[in-house]
Amino acid sequence: MDTVPPFFGSREDGEFIWGRGSCDAKGIIAAMIAAAEKLLAAGTRNLGLLFVVGEERNSAGAIAAAATPRGSRFLINGEPTENRLALGSKGALRYEITIHGKLAHSAYPELGHSAIHALLEVLNDIRQIPLPQDALLGQSTLNIGTIDGGRAPNVVADLAEAELMFRTVGDPARTREAVLAATGGRAEAREVFYTPAVQLAKLDGLPTTVVAFTTDIPSFAGTWGQPSSLVREASTLRIPRKSTSRRENC
């Protein structure tokens, strides 16, 4: 549940769970199960547990769950927040950038067109895009996560691709326009996933924080109850093709 590469095997002993996602989200799962057991023992029955997959990649689990709600009034979204209630989290805007070139022997590069060279130029221009800030969520950020292309070191590359993600803090319209301007006429920029930033309500007596990661809250779009949140641009959610911490807020 909720892990990022690289994979390595997990194990547990009498006190700890060791492995990818032990805090996020397996520690959260353990805490929620323990809380449910205590509530059931006390006679409370109006609760349920929901575990989903695909967060930040495509939110496939949350989208599937949103299509089959169970009538819940509230949703507690578990994330690694150092035992603080998150007042907001950033959104995610993912692109696949593709460039086609022309094969040639590298001894005669003038006979070809390197897709890799062109991709590097496009990515450099994308890195220069001014990114917005938000008073609560802070600075929007960009990560170029993967680059792939070429056939061999002595062959001019005919194809190059990259995957990148913006961590958004508000309306991404200008970022989208800037990406299209940076790639126009040189590369294909395919938007593969977008989920908006969220701002959440306070609860008296609980310490708070703000997190930079993306959650599945917008993907539920209120179908599993109100998560004490105001979801920015919920109506613009697009449906396409995290890190660990010591403690969790459940």
Q: Torsion over CA of 3, 7, 13 and 16, rounded to 10 degrees?
A: -30
CATH number of 91-195: 3.30.70.360
Q: Helix, strand, or coil here: 88?
A: strand
- Which pLDDT belongs to residue 111? 97
* Residue intervals in the chain for CATH 3.30.70.360: 91-195
Whether 55 is catalytic: yes
Beta strands in 91-183 (DSSP E): 91-100, 104-105, 133-134, 138-139, 141-149, 155-156, 159-168
- Which pLDDT belongs to residue 226? 66
- Which pLDDT belongs to residue 242? 35
Spell out, as residue ranges, where the chain has pLDDT lower than 50: 228-250
Of 55, 79, 233, 248, which one is the catalytic site residue? 55
pLDDT digits (tens, 9 = 90+) for 199-250: 888 888 999 999 999 888 888 877 887 654 443 333 333 333 333 333 333 2
